[in-house]
Every structure is written in C-alpha cells, then in structure tokens.
Structure 1
Amino acid sequence: MGERGEDEDDAALFRAAIGAVRRLPEQHTPPATPRPKPRARMAELDEANARDEFRHALDENLLEAGDVLAHREERLPVAIYRRLRRGEIAAEEELDLHGADARTAEALLRAFLADAVRHGVGCVRIIHGKGRRGSDDVGSSGAPVLKNLVDRMLRQRASVLAYHSAPPAQGGTGAVLVLLAPAKRN
C-alpha cells in the first residue's frame, strides 16, 4: 500500500479515537462592514497649499472698494466670458457674506462652492460688499477684507472658470458672478 493507504488508516484511527461527531449548523458569514469612501488627498493638499498661498499674498495687490473683480481661465471662450461680464448668465444660487468675519467667510465660501459644483450649478453670485460700512469690513491697509478674500479664493479654485463683478443692477462691485466648471463624473 502506498502513501494513500496510510493517510486513510490515519483518518480512520483519528475518527475512532474521537468517537461520534455532530455536525454544526452552517452559518452564513455576516456581511463585511462597508469600506470607507476614498478621500481626495491630493485635492485636500492642494486646498491647504492654496490656503497658505492666500494668507501670504493677502498684502500684495489689494483691491479697493470700487475695483472690478475679473478673471478668466484660458479654457473658457471669450464670448461666454463677455456674457458673464454683462450679466447675461443668470446666477442659480447666491451667497451673501455681509457682516461675516474673514475666517467665517472663508469657510462659508469653500462650502458654498463645493456644494454648487456637487449639485451641477453653473453660475453663482457672491455678495461680498464694498468694504465701506465699518472697521470690520476694511483691513489695516484700508482695503476691503471680504472683497480681497473672495478674489484670492476664486483665483485658486480649479472649479472656477471665470468671474467678474456683477453689473450695477445685480450688485456692482459689491458682488461677483462666478462661472463654475461642471463636476467630473466618475
């Protein structure tokens, strides 16, 4: 007899040694806990870097109360930017930052833009004011704090295609119309 015969003898010896065996009822394995959603770590790092750059650049090239906010990404056709500048593209959502301090305004603006992109909103209006009301609205240099904060943050957002101060009937240089890129679908 070869090796196979010895294995069978050992198995028989083992069964004889332990005696009668009762089979356990079969149990289904519980479902695995869901894996956490992946985080966009690079986007978080970019956001942190942009925040740092923003804070360092606060004292450079500050806008005054009557200055126009304007920026266009190269990928946006000039004709569409012209329509935005004239106020021909309707804002679907609006954020009013009047009376907010810089830290609160920054958090509100980040959340507002992320939410707008997530929900497919194409154009938004952000009311930042002109910084003429009180000492909280104007920094130590005399420049409007919220207006400069909004300008810097919008320039650093990949989701922002263009922005321009609103026409006089929509808030003038105290508000800005922002054109957003559609959210990337996976």
Structure 2
Amino acid sequence: MTDDDDFSLFAREMKGVRRIRVDQAETGSRPVDRQNQTLARQRAVQAGTKIKMDGLSDQYVIDVGPEDFLLWGRDGVQDSQLRRLKAGQIAFEGSIDLHGMTVERARSELWAFLAEAVKLEVRCVRVTHGKANRLDGRKPMLKSHVNTWLRQHDRVLGFSSCQPKHGGTGALYVLLKRTMLEGRDESSF
C-alpha cells in the first residue's frame, strides 16, 4: 500500500464529514430553569412532610395530664421487668429530647431514634417529652402523643415515667425488644 492509497482511502471515509466550529459539547439537555427547579424541590419537601410514620397513628390519642405517671407493658412482659424499669434500674443507653418540636417533627425524630436504637441492639432508652403545662387548660400534646405512639411501636416492650433525677413525669424510660445476638441471653437483662 502506498501513501497515495492511504490518502485516498482516508478522503473517501471522511466524505460528508464537517469540521466542528464550536469548542463546547452539545449534551442535548435544555438549560436549567432554576425557578421551576426550586418550586419542584419545595413541593417534594411539602409532600414528604405529610407522610405518616409506619404504625404511629394519631387516630386515637390517649390524653394524659402533665403530672400523670405513665407505666405500660406489652402482653408477656414480666412484671419484674416493669418494676425494674420504673425504679430506673435498667440503664438507658440513649436519649432524645422532643421539647419544643411540632407533633409531626417529634413523630419523625422519635421514629428515627427508635429505629437506630433497635439497629444498635439497645435495651433501654430515655425519651424526654416534657410536661407542657398549657395555658388553655388542655392536656400536654407531646406527652399524650408519645404515650400513644410508643404503645403502637412493635419493638417497644414497655415504658415508665422516669425517676426525678432523669426527668420525672416529663420523660420516659423505654424498654426495647432486641433480636437475640449470639451468646447473649435476653433473660439476664
């Protein structure tokens, strides 16, 4: 093959090809409309706030008073475990404070907190809801909602108002169900 053959072969292959005059690539996408993009993001956030957490319903909220002592155990939980919980004898390994949150935000934060505690195989946590002595005479909202939600959560075995040094009737010790890890006996806790 000679140089003339190579040149003519190249010329024949390049027939109809035009030289690119622009030094930017054409991606085929339209320019970004920042205003519409911002509106779409706002709508997505608003839609996400309306989603209820799995199993935590507000259909029926059990009203409780600011100073009411709360104690609840799921069927099958031993009375001795609830007595130990009530006495503060089961150490809590995590804590969340829901003071000042809206009901929706408190639900979301509580759900995420409990999910993390269950994932980490935590046995007991403290949830501070406050007492919220309301000027209008109505019952404390967060305390009532937390009392209702914890009863609905399938990994909550029981709960009790805390000892005064840990928040008294403004907080709860929450006993969580754990999956059995190798070598650990649930009855020793």
Q: Residue 66 of structure 1 contacts residue 173 of structure 1 at CA under 8 Å; is this kept in 2?
A: yes
Which aligned pairs between 1:140-179 and structure 2 lie closer than 5 A? 142-179=138-175
What is the identity percentage for the equivalent residue pairs of Structure 1 and Structure 2?
36
Shift of 1:149: 1.1
Partner residue of 2:90?
Answer: 89
Partner residue of 2:63?
Answer: 62
- Counterparts of 2:101 and 2:163, CA distance in 1: 23
Q: Secondary structure at 1:55's aligned position in 2?
A: coil
- Counterparts of 1:73 and 1:56, CA distance in 2: 20
Shift of 1:74: 2.2
Q: Secondary structure at 2:174's aligned position in 1?
A: strand
Q: Residue 96 of structure 1 contacts residue 126 of structure 1 at CA under 8 Å; is this kept in 2?
A: yes
Which aligned pairs between 1:69-108 and structure 2 lie closer than 5 A? 69-108=70-109
Listed as ranges, the gaps of 5+ residues in structure 2 are: 1-52, 182-189
Q: Secondary structure at 1:124's aligned position in 2?
A: strand
Listed as ranges, the gaps of 5+ residues in structure 1 are: 1-46
- CA deviation vs aligned residue, 1:24-66 (integer Å, no higher than 9, x gap): xxxxxxxxxxxxxxxxxxxxxxx64x33xx32213xx410101
Q: Residue 98 of structure 2 contacts residue 128 of structure 2 at CA under 8 Å; is this kept in 1?
A: yes
Partner residue of 2:178?
Answer: 182
Question: What amino acid sits opposite 2:122 in the alignment?
Answer: V
Partner residue of 2:185?
Answer: none
Question: What amino acid sits opposite 1:178 in the alignment?
Answer: V
Give every structure 1 segment of 4 or more consecutive aligned residues whose post-TM-superposition deviation is greater than 3 Å: none
- Counterparts of 2:104 and 2:145, CA distance in 1: 10
Shift of 1:184: 6.5
Which aligned pairs between 1:13-24 and structure 2 lie closer than 5 A? none
Q: Residue 68 of structure 1 contacts residue 165 of structure 1 at CA under 8 Å; is this kept in 2?
A: yes
Q: Residue 58 of structure 2 contacts residue 145 of structure 2 at CA under 8 Å; is this kept in 1?
A: no
Partner residue of 1:124?
Answer: 125
Total equivalences in the alignment? 130
RMSD of aligned alpha carbons: 2.1
- Counterparts of 1:121 and 1:141, CA distance in 2: 37
Q: Give the TM-score of the pair, scaled to structure 2.
A: 0.64
Q: Residue 118 of structure 1 contacts residue 183 of structure 1 at CA under 8 Å; is this kept in 2?
A: no
- Counterparts of 2:166 and 2:180, CA distance in 1: 30
